[in-house]
Amino acid sequence: MAQKPKATPRVGGEATSLELEKPLSTGLSSTRPLAAWFHGPEGMVLLQEPSGLAGFFAGSLGTLSMEEVFAHVLSGIRSGLLAVQHGTVRRTVSFRDGQVVFATSTERWERLGAVMVRLGMVTQAQLTQALSRVTPSRRIGQVLTSEGMVSEAHLYGAMTFVVREVVLSLFEMTEGSFLFVEGPAPMADVVKLPERTRDLVLTGIKRSEEVARLRRRYPEDMRASLGPAGVRPGEERRFQRLGAGLSVTELRGAFEGGPHAFYSWLDECVVGGHLVVKPAAPPPAPGPSVEGMAWELLSAEERYNLLLSLVHRALRDAGEDVDLLRGFLEAPPSGLEEAYAGVTLGPDGRVDVARLRANLPGADEAVARAMTLEALDAIVSYALFSARNVLPSEVAERLSNTYRTLQGGLA
């Protein structure tokens, strides 16, 4: 997850300033100071306070769903502006007495011009020509109608479609933050949607459930390739990107549209035989592990030395001091001084078992070997204990599990 930009207080003398990282300062102006709503050390909300501000409601989509946000507006029959943002994507919805009257989006496919091309109202060439004539005082809709490219009725229908789609796309969002600022409803750019906002919310909930279902059906790592029905008519350019196949994630990145539009298109292509999706190829088998070795063929002494070499390698790979094990040999625990006298570590972390065994003479060979294994177990226990203090927890846990594996059959 990307790290969120920070706002850092700078305290000096009697004044305190708030230093904002670049993403937070976009759109701010020194000519429009912000009103601060202070909540102690826990936080502060900064708002451009318009006339008639009655209150605000802010939070994260991780804690409140879009359904709950809309319920707050609807239950209070509120007027104002809802802004929802995730990364660089920003959508706004204007309300009048709890009903949606307008909406905007920074996503290209949810802009008026792109929607009119998609609906067949204008061609891409006409849109490009119209955009070249847009000025701060002359918007795209005015250009299109004044030059006779579309009628006022078609323009209104397209705006209504855009507003509805922007609202529905909010329910596909699971991450981001929202801010609802109560205030006067806008007087300009107001449309009448074909359904009440309450019904629109129900449609949005159904859409989000549909997206979740399709995501489960087509996981991101599944691979899509051309199906037996061939290229879908009219989508030659989109299918050309397939090549030898793409993952669902890669296919999604090449698709211009929201999650619902993409997954619906993908499902239609699969059902129609234009695409075939298969689970991702399993990852290559890992290299030989201790569990995969014929460790049961090793002697007890060789098993202990193998584990010491694994600890040595883990320390080396983690950039830790591999001489950590030498501390045991330099100052053996009480009772093992004689056993480890003159015993050294090899370059791979193994100990000189022959020298260790020679330090433990005994009339009974079985007793001498038992004492050797006890001495080896002591240094292995030391190595695991010391490694746990310096290695990542998952690495240390894996070594401990290996120790238990290697001990199998020693009793």
Q: What is the pLDDT of residue 56?
A: 85
Mean pLDDT of 66-83: 92
Count the residues in the chain.
411
Domain ranges for the chain, please list them: 28-214, 218-278, 295-406
Q: Could you tell me the pTM of the whole model?
A: 0.62
Please state, rounded to an integer, the average pLDDT across all residues of the chain: 83
SS (H, E, C) 31-73: CCCCEEEEECECCEEEECCCCCCCEEEEEECCCCCHHHHHHHH
Tell me the mean pLDDT in the region 376-382: 85
pLDDT in tens, 9-42: 777 767 777 777 766 667 677 777 777 666 666 6
Arithmetic mean of pLDDT, 253-261: 90
The whole-angstrom separation of Cα 191 and Cα 159 is 8
Mean pLDDT of 101-120: 92
Q: What is the pLDDT of residues 269-285, one digit of tens each?
A: 999 999 999 987 665 54
Q: Average pLDDT of 243-269?
A: 90
Residue 408 CA to chain centroid, in angstroms? Answer: 41
Q: Any idea which of 62-66, 183-187, 311-315 has the lowest mean pLDDT?
A: 183-187
Question: For residue 288, is pLDDT > 50?
Answer: no
CB distance 223 to 278 below 8 Å: yes
Return the pLDDT at 411.
Answer: 44
Query: Is pLDDT at 74 greater than 80 in this prediction?
Result: yes
Is residue 226's pLDDT more than 50?
yes
Least confident among 19-28, 154-163, 289-298, 371-380: 289-298
- Give the C-alpha distances (Å, rounded to integers) separating 344 from 23, 36, 352: 59, 68, 6
Continuous segment of H or E residues that includes residue 115: helix 112-118
On the question of pLDDT at 254 being above 90, the answer is no
pLDDT of residue 212: 92
Q: For residue 160, what pLDDT is reported?
A: 94
Burial letters 331-365, b for 16+ CB under 10 A, else e = ebeeebeebbeebebeeebbbbbeebbebbeeeee
Q: For 326-338, what is each residue's pLDDT tens digit?
A: 778 888 888 888 8
More confident residue, 347 or 365: 347
E-only strand ranges, 232-363: 246-247, 275-278
Kindly state the average pLDDT of the residues 129-143: 89
pLDDT band at 312 (very low <50, low <70, confident <90, very high): confident
Q: Read off the amino acid at residue 326.
A: R
Give yes or no for residue 99 having a pLDDT over 80: yes
Is the pLDDT at 46 greater than 50? The verdict is yes
User: Quick one: what percent of the chain has pLDDT higher than 70?
Assistant: 86
Q: Given a cut of 80, is residue 369 above it in pLDDT?
A: no
- pLDDT for 6-16, tens place per residue? 777 777 767 77
Sign of CA dihedral 42, 44, 45, 49: positive
| 45 vs 82 pLDDT, higher one | 82
pLDDT at 353 over 70: yes
Please give the average per-residue pLDDT across 351-378, as a whole number.
78
Give CA–CA dist 70/73, Å, rounded: 5
Per-residue pLDDT tens for 54-63? 688 888 988 8
Residue 161 has pLDDT above 80, yes or no: yes
